Structure 1
Amino acid sequence: MAQLPKYYIVEAQALPEVFLKVAEAKWLLETGEVATVNDAARATGISRSAFYKYRDSISPFQNLMAGRILTFQLLLRDMTGLLSSILTIFAQFGANILTINQAIPTNGCASVTISAETSGISQGVEALMRELSQVDGVRKVEVLAG
């Protein structure tokens, strides 16, 4: 399994301008102010390639431990009992599951989206993600929104 990324809190003024513009472009897309990546890139003055290069590396800071609802996206192999094992880990950490959406498996893997209330978790979100990623059959774990 690939090593999980490390996260840092960095003041916006210390970031290169391209990261701030990518974050702004993502926000424009998420809010529907623009319809396409091309429109978002043009509106923020960056290239589409810069957007695609950095889009997964920049997100606005949110206090993940302050009673937030987080949405996790997991890519799971099509294995009996795997989703049950994942939900057990959420329960062991004290997360309250709110929604579960699972796509039909294709090519042996299924995308699963889980929204959970994280104010009661016993350890950090990174520890939860690390534990989830170590389960046999889990291909990818990421936080989509929070």
Structure 2
Amino acid sequence: MTSQKAVFYLVREEILPEAIKKTIKVKELLKRGEVKTINEAVERMELSRSAYYKYKDYVFPFYEASQEKIVTLALLLEHKQGVLSHVLNTIASDHGSVLTINQGIPLQGVANATVSIETADLDVDLEALLDKLRMIEGVKRLEILGQA
């Protein structure tokens, strides 16, 4: 018997078929407790039960795939006092564990930084944390470099 290793792709939502998008939304309704049964969730999303069962074990929001992982972020920060500190405090306030920090010398008023965080104990999903970090004054750019 041969076992195949699962292959994963990161795909933008807008190219997914409606049935897959609705399956993800059904799973979110159930996870948040907004509905009590799968029947109620699929009816609300106007999705057939068979489509839900066909895709449910194969589609996940990005943040779910990132739980209990190490994520490395690349940031472009304004050279102003406290910007990196605010980034680190925001990660810590949501119980992200900072593993490494590297910051380059500021050039032309900005500095590149990379921060690796462990996401196992995050209080929020990764996307919510990234949104918070992007909103910090002085964060010019934020990208995910990789995951382990």
TM-score by length of structure 2 reads 0.57
Per the alignment, residue 117 of structure 1 pairs with 118
CA gap of 1:94–1:7, structure 2 versus 1, over 3 A, is farther
Per the alignment, residue 107 of structure 2 pairs with 106
Per the alignment, residue 32 of structure 2 pairs with none
Task: Give distance in 2, aligned partners of 1:90 and 1:127.
Answer: 11
Q: Does 1:89 align with 2:76?
A: no
Larger Rg: 2
Task: Give distance in 2, aligned partners of 1:116 and 1:110.
Answer: 19
| SS of residue matched to 2:108 | coil
Instruction: Output the aligned Cα RMSD.
Output: 2.5
Structure 2: unaligned runs, 5 residues or longer: 1-10, 18-61
Letter in 2 for 1:88: N
Task: Give distance in 1, aligned partners of 2:16 and 2:75.
Answer: 27
Q: CA deviation at 1:7?
A: 4.8
Q: CA deviation at 1:144?
A: 0.6
How much identity, in percent, do the aligned residues show?
36
How many residues end up aligned between the 2 structures? 92
Q: CA deviation at 1:145?
A: 0.3
Structure 1: unaligned runs, 5 residues or longer: 1-5, 12-60
Task: Give distance in 1, aligned partners of 2:121 and 2:111.
Answer: 28
Task: Give distance in 1, aligned partners of 2:85 and 2:77.
Answer: 12
CA gap of 1:101–1:120, structure 2 versus 1, over 3 A, is same
Moved over 3 A (4+): 6-11
Task: Give distance in 2, aligned partners of 1:71 and 1:10.
Answer: 26
Matches within 5 A, 1:66-85: 67-85=68-86
